[in-house]
Structure 1
Amino acid sequence: MDTHKILAWFDANERDLPWRRPGTTAWGVLVSEVMSQQTPVARVAPVWEEWMLRWPTHEDFAAASKAEVLRAWGKLGYPRRALRLWECARTLGTAPVPDEVDQLLELPGVGDYTARAVACFHFGHNVPVVDTNVRRVYARAVEGNFLAANPSKRELAQVAALLPRRGGPRFSAALMELGALVCTARSPQCAACPLQNECAWVKAGQPEPLAADAAKAKARVQKFAGTDRQVRGLIMDVLRRAPHPVPKAELDVVWPDAAQRSRALFSLIEDGLAEQNSAGLFHLPK
């Protein structure tokens, strides 16, 4: 894989994401990575900027209440991520965000990808950072295939072998950007790709995925309309807007199916995203 071509492409096409700007702290990068999980960066960017103005350090964030955090999270989705960030800030206390992958992995809510992303993109460690975008570029450009249905641990070693000795973190960011903007899942822009002339998938005639892999990929696409996740989101909207605890009747109007509504509500309570007080009223956790 031609490192120089990818870096030259990145120099010309890098998006101006706020957490890439000079002065962003390790905590800011960590927040951006958690927010960007399963959420488009276009939705993340304005929320991230608001958070950094409101809570510039993890100490500031740790002093916030759970209710403040969940209200500020808004509609980014998967709000448990917000509480895990809060737990992470509380765990850090006055200590700085660590720079080693193993130490980052000890923090609540920090998985292998996030730990590697912070170590690489903020601290400059030349470690492989493998998300779906990187996996897709590797699968097409090197192996000539569509992305395999399930990730494999061998992919870390495969991507690590591509990293240049110098400039590895920027190359990792470029590889990820290439997958996000050009080597996309459904409509790859091969004519704009710096790897077009060496891409194994292009040379193979851009074959369609195997039927089994296509079926698995389709199964992984989660519908949203009508799911418990949608109902949970509607209930959370009511709780975020309410200045005081609300009766169940105010939650009942958000969805017609009583059984699904009840299931969604009490799953929020089990996840620590909502609480019921002694008067039977519902509110965000304090």
Structure 2
Amino acid sequence: MDSQAEELHRRITGWFAGNARDLPWRDADRTPWGVLVSEIMLQQTPVVRVLPVWAAWLQRWPTPAGLALEPSGEAVRAWGRLGYPRRALRLHAAAKAIVDEFGGEVPSTYPELLRLPGVGDYTAAAVAAFAFGRRETVVDTNIRRVHARAVTGNALPSPSLTAAEMRLAASLLPADTTDSVAWNASVMELGAVVCTARSPKCGQCPILDRCAWVAAGRPEPHYTAKGQAWAGTDRQVRGAMMAVLRSADGPVRRDLLLHAPVDLGSPQLAAEVDPVTALHRLQAPQEQMERALAGLIADRLAAEDANGVSLPL
């Protein structure tokens, strides 16, 4: 390991020691299950939204066995408004696999973690590192962005993970196991709170004078990042339909989901109206409503029988 990498390690891990956020999945009494749940929930979702849902989830299901005993629909209901609810189904399936294949204990190695439904390369590496203290190359968007700016001089990492980025991450990983875990956590935190995609707080960065991007004059990104649309999309309609199903005590009539009531009432904030009214105030075309419902059923986020549509059993 060259002296430049060692200096990055020293500064970034030192900064982390004094500035890390107090997050429950980092506590000394954290469980591997709590770490796995946090990693699944944090995918494409900000920490502030995850915190209350994670806490409620772990209070209700402190072990994988508890969740595995419940219908998958309860996992979807408890997921709330975190978005991408298929993650709830995958976490439920992972809980069942943990019980069936690993005696109810979250597996501790990268290859074993990859056997769990919904667990990919990043999640397997992160859980192995942060729950079990193993030396793994953890590479998420925040880490990739710090590497891109500090080492390669680019404003942003590539649009998708490349082999070159993985080689760089592996080359920067400390040889010592304990140091490697601290490094992974520290770089991830730096990317999340200081070296952000928009408006990075360079004045707070512990490696400002070592940053290749800053030294190059902070050049613009080498590509235009495309944001994800929300308003008017199938995802918005699906989310509103899921809110109806989560709030219902039983099956919901198909026509209630697909067809607006005659009177939607006076305009109000969506949070102040019932989920059915909020759904139909989107004024989505009928074709889109039907497509969204069909998609939920095909993805097993909803089930339909003679009584209506409900969360999966």
TM-superposed deviation, 1:180: 0.5
TM-superposed deviation, 1:250: 2.0
Structure 2 unaligned runs (5+)?
A: 261-278
2:302–2:310 CA contact under 8 A, matched in 1 = yes
Secondary structure of the corresponding residue to residue 32 of structure 1? helix
Secondary structure of the corresponding residue to residue 276 of structure 1? strand
Secondary structure of the corresponding residue to residue 210 of structure 2? coil
Number of aligned pairs? 279
2:302–2:311 CA contact under 8 A, matched in 1 = yes
Letter in 1 for 2:132: F
Residues of 1 paired with 2:240 and 2:187: CA distance? 37
1:5–1:194 CA contact under 8 A, matched in 2 = yes
Secondary structure of the corresponding residue to residue 76 of structure 1? coil
TM-superposed deviation, 1:158: 1.2
Letter in 2 for 1:138: H
TM-superposed deviation, 1:270: 0.1
Letter in 2 for 1:145: N
Matched, 1:261 2:261: no
Partner in structure 1 of residue 65 of structure 2: 59
The superposition leaves residues 141-183 of structure 1 with CA deviations (integer Å, 9 ceiling, x where unpaired) of 0000122222113322211211223311011000000001111
Partner in structure 2 of residue 165 of structure 1: 175
Partner in structure 2 of residue 144 of structure 1: 153
TM-superposed deviation, 1:191: 1.0
Partner in structure 2 of residue 190 of structure 1: 202
Residues of 1 paired with 2:104 and 2:76: CA distance? 24
Partner in structure 2 of residue 9 of structure 1: 15
Structure 1 unaligned runs (5+)?
A: none
Residues of 2 paired with 1:284 and 1:95: CA distance? 25
2:64–2:104 CA contact under 8 A, matched in 1 = no
Across the aligned residues of Structure 1 and Structure 2, the Cα RMSD in angstroms comes to 1.1
Matched, 1:29 2:57: no
Partner in structure 1 of residue 263 of structure 2: none
1:231–1:264 CA contact under 8 A, matched in 2 = yes
The superposition leaves residues 176-213 of structure 1 with CA deviations (integer Å, 9 ceiling, x where unpaired) of 00001111111111111011011000110111123xx1
Secondary structure of the corresponding residue to residue 197 of structure 1? helix
Partner in structure 2 of residue 178 of structure 1: 190
Letter in 1 for 2:180: G
Matched, 1:19 2:46: no
Matched, 1:113 2:122: yes
Partner in structure 2 of residue 132 of structure 1: 141
Residues of 2 paired with 1:49 and 1:236: CA distance? 21
Matched, 1:226 2:228: no
TM-superposed deviation, 1:25: 1.1
Taking structure 1 as the reference length, the TM-score comes to: 0.95
Q: Percent identity?
A: 52
Which of 88, 113, 121 is equivalent to 1:82?
88
1:129–1:156 CA contact under 8 A, matched in 2 = no
Secondary structure of the corresponding residue to residue 282 of structure 1? strand
Letter in 1 for 2:190: L
